[in-house]
Amino acid sequence: MSATAHPARAVRRRLPGSLLAGSTILLFGIVLAAVPQLLAPFSPLRFDYAHLLSAPSPLHPLGTDEFGRDMLSRVIWGYAVDMQIALFATLPALLIGTVVGALAGFFGGLAETMLVQLVGVVVAFPFLVLVIAIVTVLGPGLINMYVATALVGWVFYAQLMMAEMKLQRRLDYAAAARAMGYGQVRIIFRHLLPNAITAVLIYWMTDMALAILLGSSLGYLGLGAQPPVAEWGALIAGGKNYMSTAWWMTVFPGIAIVVTGLGFSLTGDGLGTLLGVRR
């Protein structure tokens, strides 16, 4: 047996099972989201009046909806929409919160006090209620949903980053960087931030799972993706009146939501275990 095989086996042994399972689910979802037009058997908007509310069959494995549209194709195209929601509903909050939290955690004082007070105000209200209120004012649609989640969600990233930055700035390597005369911007973004951001990135994975649930909830309420876009929450809303006669219209999009959210959660949990981060 070659010596080079041992390190590979050691790496596989160290990888948590949750990370492997979660990354496999996410990879599958990313592929479906990237090329739905190649994998979906029909167009998600194709009407087939000869197969209205058709039960699962070889021609339509997940059945059809009230317009004869193939549910398998609509669920696959839903990956493109909901994976987009997972990214763009959280990325602005991640970027804004990371920068604000890093600065507040490094400088402390008034910046830290103001951030703590702002966090207290935001967490006093349920996250979903705030987002729904903002989207209601701005109007339904994915862009307005992204704006709402950015306005509310960044404070949670900032709170976490501030706590991590306060911890990192007390360590010896931070004191050594100051002793060497490095500027504050370099110390923050080149030395402290790379070591403090691990916990934030792991939280981001979990937050993307919550973003999919949020997007599906708003889609169900008519505040998210608008018809005829094939978004999982909107698909469930479209099938709620047919639960007794066409259960597949709601069950299969619901399964897609659960499985994809589970993929993000398992990946975040596995990364936390691998990197030794307590959540």
CA distance 206 to 28: 18
The confidence score (pLDDT) of residue 228 equals: 86
Residue type, 274: L
The confidence score (pLDDT) of residue 184 equals: 87
pLDDT per residue over 244-260, tens digit each? 999 999 999 999 999 99
Mean pLDDT for back-to-back runs of 10 residues, the chain (279 residues) = 47 75 95 94 93 95 95 96 95 94 88 85 86 93 94 92 90 87 87 89 92 92 88 92 93 96 93 72
CA distance 181 to 241: 67
With beta carbons less than 8 A apart as the criterion, state whether 135 and 172 touch: no
Question: Domain residues of the chain, as ranges?
Answer: 92-201
With beta carbons less than 8 A apart as the criterion, state whether 52 and 64 touch: yes
pLDDT per residue over 132-141, tens digit each? 999 999 999 9
CA distance 91 to 150: 8
3-state secondary structure of 64: strand
The confidence score (pLDDT) of residue 11 equals: 47
Tell me how many degrees the CA angle 239-243-246 measures, rounded to the nearest 5.
75
3-state secondary structure of 222: coil
